[in-house]
């Protein structure tokens, strides 16, 4: 019986609301007809502000688009390794096969630190090479350096190395690029 009583109360409330809707609607119509001039002016102001915002937003988007395509570069470099393991962390739990350089501006540089571990059975030294620059002109306006100084890395030992990518200030016409970075452990 409790459920039926609840349904009856709900039904009564809905009837009161629906009976009051015509009265509310007529009051709204009366309000708007008395204030037609004020409403037209307010609506015109709102429309003007919306239009001005939309136009300025489009102009800003076009300026940003021109700026981004003419002076920013994005890249993900692929790491290829021979005889070693490359990790983001000193605990050797987060192996990596790429470096995401993100967005770069001409005249800037960005650095990433990685951990390289000798996963072989004998001491070795490291060397690096870059290849497959795309576009090929990217290799003439960018340099990839590292702070590895040629020390021997014993079996199971590791070294922390920082790679730094430098973009020439006069870089133009390149919006994205890619490069393969090869790290070779030999000994």
Dihedral Cα 77, 81, 87, 90, nearest 10 deg: -130
Backbone dihedral angles phi then psi of residue 169, each to the nearest 5 degrees: -65, -25
| Residue 26 lies in domain | 2-69
At 64, the pLDDT band (50, 70, 90 cuts) reads very low
User: Are residues 139 and 172 located together in one domain of the fold?
Assistant: yes
Gap between the Cα atoms of 32 and 20, Å rounded: 19
User: Are residues 103 and 178 located together in one domain of the fold?
Assistant: yes
- The alpha carbon of residue 156 and the mean position of all alpha carbons in its chain are separated, in whole angstroms, by 36
Gap between the Cα atoms of 38 and 44, Å rounded: 10
| Nearest to 169, CA basis, from 133, 131, 143, 135 | 143
- The yes-or-no verdict on residue 88 having pLDDT over 50 is yes
User: Are residues 82 and 172 located together in one domain of the fold?
Assistant: yes
User: Are residues 50 and 96 located together in one domain of the fold?
Assistant: no
User: Are residues 42 and 19 located together in one domain of the fold?
Assistant: yes
User: Are residues 90 and 158 located together in one domain of the fold?
Assistant: yes
At 44, the pLDDT band (50, 70, 90 cuts) reads low
Do 182 and 82 form a contact (C-beta atoms < 8 A)? yes
At 110, the pLDDT band (50, 70, 90 cuts) reads very high
Residue that terminates a domain, selected from 18, 35, 69 = 69
pLDDT by residue (tens digit) across 118-166?
Answer: 999 999 999 999 999 989 998 999 999 999 999 999 999 999 999 999 9
CATH of the domain at 151: 2.60.370.10
Q: How many domains does the chain have?
A: 2
């Amino acid at each position: 019986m409790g459920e039926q009583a609840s349904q009856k109360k709900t039904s009564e409330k809905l009837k009161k609301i629906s009976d009051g809707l015509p009265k509310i609607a007529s009051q709204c119509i009366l309000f708007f007809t008395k204030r037609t001039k004020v409403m037209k002016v307010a609506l015109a102001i709102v429309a003007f502000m919306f239009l001005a915002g939309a136009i300025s937003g489009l102009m800003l988007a076009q300026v940003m688009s021109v700026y981004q395509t003419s002076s920013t570069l994005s890249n993900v470099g692929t790491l290829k390794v021979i005889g070693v393991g490359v990790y983001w962390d000193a605990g050797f739990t987060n192996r990596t096969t790429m470096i995401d350089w993100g967005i770069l501006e001409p005249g800037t540089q960005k650095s990433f630190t990685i951990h390289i571990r000798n996963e072989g059975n004998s001491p070795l030294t490291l060397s690096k090479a870059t290849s497959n620059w795309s576009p090929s002109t990217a290799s003439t306006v960018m340099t990839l350096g590292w702070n590895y100084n040629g020390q021997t890395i014993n079996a199971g030992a590791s070294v922390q190395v920082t790679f730094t990518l430098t973009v020439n200030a006069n870089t133009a016409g390149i919006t994205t690029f890619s490069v393969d970075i090869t790290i070779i452990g030999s000994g």
